[in-house]
Amino acid sequence: MKAKRTILLLVLSLVFCTGTWAAPRLVVWQKNGQKVFYDLAEEPHTTFENGLLVITTNNVRVEYQLSNILRYTYEGVNTSIETPLPDGTGFRQNGDDIDVYGLAPDGTAQLYDLNGRLLESGTAEGNRNNVHFSLQNLPAGTYVVKVGDQSLKFMKR
């Protein structure tokens, strides 16, 4: 009886996980509440022509009046951006989180605004060779992360 219950729970878990997982896709949000999905495997290409949002895939070309479109977004896509540097360090941005990795022990990283004001500084301690910065509580804008003589700009929207 216990084995049957376990199998049933596993099957239900798979069904729910499969139902909530979506392949990477482009989503067109229309003002009438309707959403249209384009699988990224179809290679959708978006352009704007004469007041139209035009989506062309391997199989179809669809035109939407811009006045009827709320927005278009991507789902199921990894939005993390990674910039490795030649010395083994690197920067990774995922949303409002920035990680500096590959630092030497006691290596430091600094976060600046565009006015050159130091906002935060971090040190790699112990066996952790990374420093984490969160932009969550900062206003939208551009920020600079500096490690040694290397720096990289990041945007928060």
Whether residue 80 has pLDDT greater than 80: no
The secondary structure of residue 107, as a DSSP letter, is: -
Q: Is the separation of the CB atoms in 108 and 118 below 8 Å? A: no
pLDDT digits (tens, 9 = 90+) for 41-66: 888 989 899 999 999 998 899 999 99
Instruction: Look up tokens 């979506």; give the residue.
Output: 22
* Tokens, residue 121: 């500084």
Q: Kindly indicate the confidence band of residue 139, based on its pLDDT and cuts at 50, 70 and 90.
A: very high
User: Do β-strands 52-56 and 69-75 pair in parallel, antiparallel, or remain unpaired?
Assistant: unpaired
Angle (nearest 5°) at CA 65 between 61 and 67? 155
State pTM to two decimals: 0.52
The answer to whether 141 and 113 have CB atoms below 8 angstroms apart is yes
| 16 — pLDDT class (breaks 50, 70, 90) | very low
